[in-house]
Amino acid sequence: MKKLILFALFFALTRVYGQDSAIHVIPQPVEIQQSTGEYTLTSVSTIGFNNQDSRKIADMLVQKLNNPTGFSFKAEQTNSASIQFNLNKVPVSQLGKEGYSLVSGTSGVVITANETAGLFYGMQTLLQLLPKEIESKTAVSMAWTIPIVKITDYPRFGWRGLMLDVSRNFFTKEEVKSYIDQLSRYKLNTFHMHLTDDNGWRIEIKSLPKLTEVGAWRVPRYGQFGGRAKPVSDEKATVGGFYTQDDMKEIIRYAQDRNVTIVPEIDIPGHSMAAIASYPELSCTKDQDTKVNPGSSFSEWYKDGTFKMLLDNTLNPSDEKVYEFLDKVFTEIATIFPNPYIHVGGDECYKGFWMKDAGCLALMKKMNMAKPEELQAYFMKRVEGILKAKGKKLIGWDEILEGGIGPEATVMSWRGIKGGIEAAKMGHNVVMTPTTYAYIDYQQGEQTIEPPMYASLRLEKCYNWEPVPEGVDAKYILGGQGNLWAEQIVTLHHAEYMTWPRGWALAEDFWSPKESKNWANFVPRVEKQFERAEIEGVNYSTAFYDAIVNVRGKDGEMTLEMNSEVPGLDVFYTIDGAMPNIYSNKYSSPVKLPPGPITVRVVTYRNGKQIGHLITLNPEELKGRISTR
């Protein structure tokens, strides 16, 4: 009976949590109980820490609070501050390394954890409990209230990541720091930097200066990536940039203070045109005219998923000088980055130039290799040996499974979940990052409105992702990661637009218990984060408010089916050329279009006010999206 009473009480409290406007935390905590009442932060409130290890978190909170509140807090060592940070003397096993407990009452708040990472995450939750104006950069006069809650929280996965592609377009040191700030507040703890590719080499390697003297710069080009003009002779390469080793060490320290591990990626043996432009002798063709690619096409892709490279962008696996080059690169990378993993790419490696190279063919014959995939496996095992000698672990995209894989390699499964399943069943650790759920460079809404991209990933699908595939032992799934490829992304403003709110959905996928996830509950929490982001000056997408318009075709007739991701929106439409509003046709069931060149306009409303973008579909667009399903 006592257990039933306690369960009923907990259920009632968690229901209050789901409904109360003051509680909109992302990612959703494991357990949260709310009571009536609140604590008000004032100028006489104090912020304390119980030992020197917890001091830095208290200091971070002081820095965050002083500007918006206008108060002059200072952190002090004590056990009885208004907001108290305590590291446990005896670890609580339930909390692990990153968990925390947060208890607020009418007299203040106590955040407790086993390690500083937990205190940091407790602080992030506390900030989300405060009014949205806490994100202001200037003082705001208001009541700084914190609801009375008891929270016990810890992550589901240890690897909770986002990848930013800084090769295709360079982001400055300060922009990278800003992005780290944003991801860390949602308890994401891994920042994967795609540092090298065909379009730029972004990290200083002192023993190989041409990598940044040449490889970090490309000729100026605009327009759709993949359709730009090729470099011409004697054209100056003026677009790009790179991080000095001191820059990167500064970024790493900044990330460490926010419990974020940076994973560097040196993409090899394919995607290496920037390196080859710097040192042409590294490739099979040794083409001295190789240039850093500015976004022009140099490949042909076929419907079956295969492709052909028209220019050689691949390192020569049969040349010992390539391994000497890589040893120099990874010696310096290993010194700069303290984390155990170095990402070595391994994806989309074209092997056609290998199969025409005498050295590669001789190596295949010597090693009794039957197919070129084994040559890549040979290359990767050599690279793994280089990394292992420097105390590092190899991680790569799922193509590294082809032809055989080193016994200690970790796999990032991006081509769906198949590679992750295969790797886990072989006993390899896996980070799940499938295109279908985690590629946040994809369009997130109506294709006629969103920036052009060849695929789509809506917020709801992102949120409903389960990172552990059915039938796989969860112990091999380190966690998951969202990937932001930057071919079409030039500014941090645009990167933010593509990341949020899908990054919030991924944060909840990776942190919160899967049993507690609920789309209808997530939507209002996203909307509260919109308000906070707006005050802070962080960009975001509202595409999930837009109507979803599907066209069915049968016997020459077209039928419209419309809905929205957000529950409770009204969809209004016109087929007579007029602009839609609340006086137009309200969608309730499939609409059969009359014959003729119809233009459909659609918009969503909530509570009598327009909330979604106007969608205009001309006859050609309607015809192009016909489905017979």
In tens, the pLDDT along 210-262 reads: 999 999 999 999 999 999 999 998 999 999 999 999 999 999 999 999 999 99
* β-pairing verdict for 341-345 and 144-153: unpaired
Q: Please determine, for residue 6, whether its predicted confidence score (pLDDT) is greater than 90.
A: no
pLDDT for the residue 554: 87
Residue 451 lies in a domain: no
**Residues forming beta bridges with residue 617, ordered by sequence position:** 600
Q: Please determine, for residue 16, whether its predicted confidence score (pLDDT) is greater than 50.
A: no
CB contact set of 365 (below 8 Å; sequence gap of 6+): none
Q: Are residues 285 and 347 in the same domain?
A: yes
Distance of alpha carbon 583 from alpha carbon 340, whole angstroms: 61
Residue 5 has, within 13 A of its CA and on its CB side, a CA count of 2
Identify the helix (H) or strand (E) that includes residue 627. strand 626-627
Q: What angle do CA 41, 533, 104 make, to 5 degrees?
A: 30
- In which residue are the tokens 């509003």 written? 581
Q: Please determine, for residue 475, whether its predicted confidence score (pLDDT) is greater than 90.
A: yes
Q: Calculate what percentage of the chain has a pLDDT beyond 70.
A: 96
Q: Are residues 275 and 194 in the same domain?
A: yes
pLDDT-derived band at 627, boundaries 50, 70, 90: confident
462 or 555, greater pLDDT: 462
- Maximal C-alpha separation, the chain: 84
pLDDT digits (tens, 9 = 90+) for 48-58: 999 999 999 99
Question: Which of 443, 539, 530, 543 lies closest to 491, judged by CA?
Answer: 539
Residue 454 lies in a domain: no
pLDDT for the residue 305: 86
Residue 80 lies in a domain: yes
Q: Which of the listed residues 127, 153, 179 is the one where a domain comes to its end?
A: 153
Residue range 19-43: mean pLDDT, rounded: 88
Residue 336 lies in a domain: yes
Q: Please determine, for residue 26, whether its predicted confidence score (pLDDT) is greater than 60.
A: yes
What 3-state class would DSSP assign to 150? strand
What 3-state class would DSSP assign to 344? strand
φ, ψ for residue 482 (rounded to 5)? -95, 145
Distance of alpha carbon 410 from alpha carbon 477, whole angstroms: 10
Residue 517 lies in a domain: no
pLDDT for the residue 406: 87
Q: Please determine, for residue 457, whether its predicted confidence score (pLDDT) is greater than 60.
A: yes
User: Is residue 515 annotated as part of the catalytic site, yes or no?
Assistant: no
Distance of alpha carbon 149 from alpha carbon 125, whole angstroms: 11
pLDDT for the residue 20: 42
Q: Are residues 71 and 128 in the same domain?
A: yes
Distance of alpha carbon 70 from alpha carbon 227, whole angstroms: 51
Q: Are residues 478 and 602 in the same domain?
A: no
Q: What is the DSSP string of 210-277?
A: HHHHTTTEE----SSTTSSPPP-TT----EE--B-HHHHHHHHHHHHHTT-EEEEEEEESSS-HHHHH
Number of domains making up the chain: 3
Task: Report the sign of the C-alpha dihedral through residues 123, 129, 131, 133, in that order.
Answer: positive
Beta carbons of 558 and 550 less than 8 angstroms apart = no
CB atoms within 10 A of CB 592: 10
Q: Which of the listed residues 153, 178, 194 is the one where a domain comes to its end?
A: 153
Q: Are residues 65 and 173 in the same domain?
A: no
pLDDT for the residue 19: 37
pLDDT-derived band at 628, boundaries 50, 70, 90: low
CB contact set of 71 (below 8 Å; sequence gap of 6+): 41, 42, 43, 45, 65
**Domain of residue 203, CATH code:** 3.20.20.80
Q: Which residues of 456-494 are buried (b: 16+ CB within 10 A; e: fewer)?
A: ebbbbebbebebbbeebeeebbbbbbbbbbbbbbbebeb
Q: Are residues 76 and 171 in the same domain?
A: no
pLDDT digits (tens, 9 = 90+) for 60-81: 999 999 999 999 999 999 999 9
Q: Please determine, for residue 5, whether its predicted confidence score (pLDDT) is greater than 90.
A: no
Range of the domain at 255: 163-432+463-490
pLDDT for the residue 555: 83
Distance of alpha carbon 523 from alpha carbon 544, whole angstroms: 9
Residue range 167-196: mean pLDDT, rounded: 98
Residue 497 lies in a domain: no
Q: Are residues 552 and 607 in the same domain?
A: yes
317's tokens: 């696996």
pLDDT digits (tens, 9 = 90+) for 155-164: 999 999 999 9
Q: What angle do CA 161, 167, 168 make, to 5 degrees?
A: 105
Task: Report the sign of the C-alpha dihedral through residues 67, 68, 71, 76, in that order.
Answer: negative
Distance of alpha carbon 191 from alpha carbon 180, whole angstroms: 7
What 3-state class would DSSP assign to 225? coil
Distance of alpha carbon 108 from alpha carbon 575, whole angstroms: 58
pTM for this predicted structure: 0.95
Residue range 26-40: mean pLDDT, rounded: 96
pLDDT digits (tens, 9 = 90+) for 565-621: 999 999 999 999 899 999 999 999 999 999 999 999 999 999 999 999 999 999 999
**Domain of residue 143, CATH code:** 3.30.379.10
pLDDT-derived band at 491, boundaries 50, 70, 90: very high
Q: Are residues 334 and 476 in the same domain?
A: yes
Beta carbons of 226 and 487 less than 8 angstroms apart = yes
Residue range 276-290: mean pLDDT, rounded: 98
Q: Please determine, for residue 336, whether its predicted confidence score (pLDDT) is greater than 70.
A: yes
Distance of alpha carbon 319 from alpha carbon 354, whole angstroms: 11
Distance of alpha carbon 477 from alpha carbon 475, whole angstroms: 6
Distance of alpha carbon 333 from alpha carbon 265, whole angstroms: 10
Residue 513 lies in a domain: no
pLDDT-derived band at 629, boundaries 50, 70, 90: low
CB atoms within 10 A of CB 381: 17
pLDDT-derived band at 21, boundaries 50, 70, 90: very low
pLDDT for the residue 4: 36
pLDDT for the residue 22: 59
Residue 176 lies in a domain: yes
**Identified catalytic residue from 271, 343, 428, 613:** 271
Q: Are residues 269 and 305 in the same domain?
A: yes
Q: Are residues 587 and 483 in the same domain?
A: no
User: Is residue 267 annotated as part of the catalytic site, yes or no?
Assistant: no
pLDDT digits (tens, 9 = 90+) for 511-521: 999 999 999 99
Distance of alpha carbon 252 from alpha carbon 148, whole angstroms: 36
DSSP state of 184: H
* β-pairing verdict for 600-606 and 615-617: antiparallel
DSSP state of 352: T
**Domain of residue 616, CATH code:** 2.60.40
Alpha helices (H) in 344-473, listed in sequence order: 358-366, 372-389, 418-425, 435-438, 459-463
DSSP state of 456: B
pLDDT for the residue 565: 97
Q: Are residues 254 and 112 in the same domain?
A: no
pLDDT for the residue 556: 84
**Identified catalytic residue from 153, 165, 197, 265:** 197
pLDDT digits (tens, 9 = 90+) for 410-447: 999 999 999 999 999 999 999 999 999 999 999 999 99
Q: Which residues of 598-629 are buried (b: 16+ CB within 10 A; e: fewer)?
A: bbbbbbbbeeeeebbbebbbeeebbeeeeeee
pLDDT digits (tens, 9 = 90+) for 557-578: 999 999 999 999 999 999 998 9
User: Is residue 53 annotated as part of the catalytic site, yes or no?
Assistant: no
Q: Which of the listed residues 490, 506, 538 is the one where a domain comes to its end?
A: 490
Q: Are residues 271 and 291 in the same domain?
A: yes
